[in-house]
Chain A
Amino acid sequence: MAEKIIGRLSGLYKEFPRKGGTAPTATHYCPGCGHGILHKLIGEAMGDLEIADRTIVISPVGCSVFAYYYFNCGNIQVAHGRAPAVATGISRAEDNAVVISYQGDGDLASIGLNETLQAANRGEKLAVFFVNNTIYGMTGGQMAPTTLIGEKTTTCPTGRDPRFSGYPIHMCELINNLKAPVFIERVAISDIKNIRKARRAVRKALEIQRDGKGYAFVEVLSNCPTNLKQDSQESIDFINNVMTKEFPLGNLRDNSEEAESFKRSVSDFSIDSINGLYDLKNDSSPDAINDPEFGDVQVKVAGFGGQGVLSMGLILARAACKDSRHVSWYPSYGPEQRGGTSNCSVMISGELVGSPVVHSPDVLIAMNRPSLEKFADDVEPGGVIIYDSVASDFKFKQGVKAVAVPARQLAAKGGSERAANTVMLGVLKTLGCTKLSDEVFYQAIADNFAAKPKLIDLNHKILDQAAKWTKENIK
Chain B
Amino acid sequence: MEVKDEKKSPYPVLTQIECKACGRCIISCPKGCLEMSKEINQRGYHYVVYTGTGCTGCANCFYSCPEPNAIEVHIPKKD
Q: Are B74 and A23 closer than 8 Å at their CB atoms?
A: no
Is A37's CB within 8 Å of the partner chain B?
yes
Is A7's CB within 8 Å of the partner chain B?
yes
Question: A3-B77, A26-B18, A192-B60 known; A43 and B27 CB under 8 Å?
Answer: no
Q: Are B59 and A6 closer than 8 Å at their CB atoms?
A: yes
Cα distance A29–B22 when bound, in Å? 11
Question: A2-B76, A26-B18 known; A9 and B68 CB under 8 Å?
Answer: yes
Is A8's CB within 8 Å of the partner chain B?
yes
Q: Are B63 and A7 closer than 8 Å at their CB atoms?
A: no
Q: Are B43 and A26 closer than 8 Å at their CB atoms?
A: yes
Scan residues 4-41 of chain A and give those whose CB is less than 8 A from a CB of chain B: 4-9, 12, 14, 23, 25-27, 29-37, 39-41
Residues in B with CB closer than 8 Å to A36 are 65-68
Scan residues 351-404 of chain A and give those whose CB is less than 8 A from a CB of chain B: none
* Residue among A1, A26, A35, A191 facing the most chain B CB atoms (10 A cut-off): A26
Cα distance A3–B77 when bound, in Å? 5
Total of A-B residue pairs, C-beta within 8 Å = 103
Residues in A with CB closer than 8 Å to B37 are none
Number of B residues, CB within 8 Å of A? 32
Is A232's CB within 8 Å of the partner chain B?
yes
Q: Mark B42-79, 1 if CB is under 8 A from A, else 0.
A: 01010000000000010110111111110111111100
Q: Are B62 and A192 closer than 8 Å at their CB atoms?
A: no
Residues in B with CB closer than 8 Å to A29 are 66
The residue in chain B whose Cβ has the minimal distance to the Cβ of A12 is B68
Cα distance A35–B18 when bound, in Å? 16
Q: Are B23 and A40 closer than 8 Å at their CB atoms?
A: no
Is B33's CB within 8 Å of the partner chain A?
no
Cα distance A31–B28 when bound, in Å? 16
Scan residues 406-450 of chain A and give those whose CB is less than 8 A from a CB of chain B: none
Q: Mark A215-248, 1 if CB is under 8 A from B, else 0.
A: 0000000000100000111001000000000000
Residues in B with CB closer than 8 Å to A199 are 63
Q: Are A39 and B63 closer than 8 Å at their CB atoms?
A: no
Scan residues 60-100 of chain A and give those whose CB is less than 8 A from a CB of chain B: 70
Is A458's CB within 8 Å of the partner chain B?
no
Q: Are A8 and B72 closer than 8 Å at their CB atoms?
A: yes
Residues in B with CB closer than 8 Å to A152 are none
Q: Mark A27-59, 1 if CB is under 8 A from B, else 0.
A: 101111111110111010000000000000000
Residues in B with CB closer than 8 Å to A460 are none
Q: Are B62 and A7 closer than 8 Å at their CB atoms?
A: yes
Cα distance A91–B74 when bound, in Å? 38
Cα distance A23–B16 when bound, in Å? 13
9 contacts between A and B (CB under 8 A): A1-B8, A1-B76, A2-B77, A6-B57, A7-B62, A25-B17, A37-B65, A232-B23, A232-B27
A contacts, CB < 8 Å to B: 1-9, 12, 14, 23, 25-27, 29-37, 39-41, 43, 70, 191-192, 195-196, 199, 225, 231-233, 236
